[in-house]
Amino acid sequence: MLERVCDVAVIGAGTAGLAAYRAARDAGAQAVLIERGPGGTTCARVGCMPSKLLIAAAEAAHKARHADLFGIRIGSMAVDGGAVLDRVRRERDRFVGSVLEGVDKIPGDDRLVGEARFVDGRTLEIEGSTRLRFGAAVIAIGSSPAVPAPLKGLGDRLLTTDTLFEIPALPASLAILGLGAVGVELAQAMARLGVRVTAFDSGGTIAGLTHPDLVREAAEILGEEFTLHLGARIEGAERAGEGVRLDWTDGEGRTHATQADCVLSAAGRPPNVRGLGLEATGLALDEDGLPDFDRRSLVCRGAPILIAGDANAWRPVLHEASRQGGIAGRNAAALAAGGSVETPAPWPALAMVFTHPQAAAIGEPYDPDATGRIGAQMDFADQGRARTEGVNRGGIRLWAAPDGRLLGGEMLGPAVEHLAQIVSNALRDGLTVQAMQDRPVYHPTVEEGLYTALSGMIQKTSDANGN
């Protein structure tokens, strides 16, 4: 077996792993990148980018069907499912190719291919062929789709986000399990492309929203395009003819059955920590096999091992993976050199869902039991630019401290991907509601809706302080 030594070993060549490798090298460390394949990052290959390509096609179909609102008559419109999926794969492969080109530029001596497993807290073994002794290691092995037990016997009738974009044609009907970001995006996109969709979630939330006003409105709006069941539990699944049959109970315990051509499991993506041999490192592991780690430094307690990106299951989104990878790489280099680590404050939480209307949650979560918060709301029904575009549904909910410091919010509506980033940046800069309101906003834009909510919050803050 080949014996090697390095300063920093990075396991995984996804977004977090590539950022960690580069940061460690920039810090002067001898770094080795280990990838079991396939590379290309979760986002580019099976996540953000192919899903957005599918959503873009679905939006084009939706606009064609609803052009009558503007007095535009379209004689006929047809969805060529095979052509839609061909474009998704073609453009997806371009994104993946760009990532792989970057990986190919890494020197050959810095790359190892194969499955890595910890032998102890300072040693990795790669595919039984290489033993790598490290000064510090970064775990950046990403995640894989969860498949609930009732679905595991469905064979090729079971889809996940790892296989969905490879199907040759759109199914006539599709059942989707999970109404988080991925599930709800794909449910709406498939429905707009002509697939009969039934979606289930065991919880009472949708699209990452928790504020009851927005959850109700999201369920109402999205429920116009596909059938959705919140509070539903899948009890069993079996192949039935050329499709599948799902047996489920609703929130009141009543039993139902639903048939579909295929089932898509969108029930989350747990980290790929199983089989990594973490039990040999001396780290304390939870019931899911995840190590205890500091969310600022990303250092695991008990060994010079760090964990970043989807692998730590904290904030599994690309911008966080990239940032965490950089922090982990620099800190791994510092540990390997006997130095001290950095502990930067986390960014404000930011999660987006690219349905139409879009949804987002920013900063501190909604808490109905929180005391001392000042809340404000705005609805898009009569917002000028939203009405002009015919997308005047949804609303904004914000909350702040009594002294006017903005704490967070949730949104459902048009251009939320932009509005949410305005709020996120304000939180990052520590702005008060008044400071945000004092910044200019152009007319007529959807951003004016955000400033309507801020104005209401300023008035409530003033009233609360007796001004």
Question: Is the domain of 16 the same as that of 135?
Answer: yes
pLDDT at residue number 464: 65
User: Who wins on pLDDT, 52 or 101?
Assistant: 52
pLDDT at residue number 466: 64
Per-residue confidence band for 193, with pLDDT thresholds at 50, 70 and 90: very high
Report the pLDDT averaged over residues 406-431. 96
**31 contacts 18 by C-beta, under 8 angstroms:** no
For the cut 80, the answer to whether the pLDDT of residue 87 exceeds it is: yes
CATH of the domain at 433: 3.30.390.30
Per-residue confidence band for 46, with pLDDT thresholds at 50, 70 and 90: confident
Q: How far is residue 9's CA from residue 132's CA, in Å, rounded to a whole number? A: 8
**Partners of residue 10 on adjacent β-strands:** 33, 138
Closest of 324, 325, 347 to residue 420, by C-alpha: 347
What element of type H or E holds 434?
helix 433-437
For the cut 90, the answer to whether the pLDDT of residue 350 exceeds it is: yes
The residue segments making up the domain with residue 12 are 2-144+270-336
Going by C-beta distance under 8 Å and a sequence separation of 6 or more, which residues neighbour residue 216? Answer: none
Report the pLDDT averaged over residues 410-417. 98
Is 373 domain-assigned?
yes
Structure tokens at 258: 């639903």
Supply the mean pLDDT for the chain. 95
Question: Is the domain of 330 the same as that of 359?
Answer: no
Question: Is the domain of 155 the same as that of 49?
Answer: no
Closest of 418, 401, 327, 395 to residue 364, by C-alpha: 401
Question: Is the domain of 7 the same as that of 134?
Answer: yes
Q: How far is residue 16's CA from residue 14's CA, in Å, rounded to a whole number? A: 6
Is 344 domain-assigned?
no
200: phi > 0 → left, psi -120 to 50 → alpha, else beta; which?
beta
Is 170 domain-assigned?
yes
Structure tokens at 223: 């429920």
User: Who wins on pLDDT, 13 or 37?
Assistant: 13
Instruction: Among 336, 369, 386, give the residue marking a domain's end.
Output: 336
- Phi then psi for residue 309, to 5 deg, are 70, -155
Per-residue confidence band for 15, with pLDDT thresholds at 50, 70 and 90: very high
Question: Is the domain of 159 the same as that of 283?
Answer: no
The number of domains in the chain is 3
Question: Is the domain of 154 the same as that of 257?
Answer: yes
Q: How far is residue 144's CA from residue 47's CA, in Å, rounded to a whole number? A: 11
Q: Residues of 369-404 as b/e, b for ≥16 C-beta within 10 angstroms?
A: eeeebbbbbbbbeebebbeeeebbbbbbbbbbeeeb
Is 369 domain-assigned?
yes
pLDDT at residue number 163: 95
Helix axes 15-26, 318-336, angle to 10 degrees: 40
Beta strands 227-230 and 196-201, pairing class: parallel
Per-residue confidence band for 465, with pLDDT thresholds at 50, 70 and 90: low
Per-residue confidence band for 446, with pLDDT thresholds at 50, 70 and 90: very high
Report the pLDDT averaged over residues 364-368. 95
* CA 299 distance to own-chain centroid: 23
CATH of the domain at 244: 3.50.50.60
Is 343 domain-assigned?
no
pLDDT at residue number 467: 61
Question: Is the domain of 185 the same as that of 313?
Answer: no
- pTM of the predicted protein model: 0.95
pLDDT at residue number 301: 94
pLDDT at residue number 54: 97
Question: Is the domain of 8 the same as that of 69?
Answer: yes
Q: How far is residue 142's CA from residue 311's CA, in Å, rounded to a whole number? A: 5
187: phi > 0 → left, psi -120 to 50 → alpha, else beta; which?
alpha
For the cut 90, the answer to whether the pLDDT of residue 202 exceeds it is: yes
Report the pLDDT averaged over residues 302-329. 96
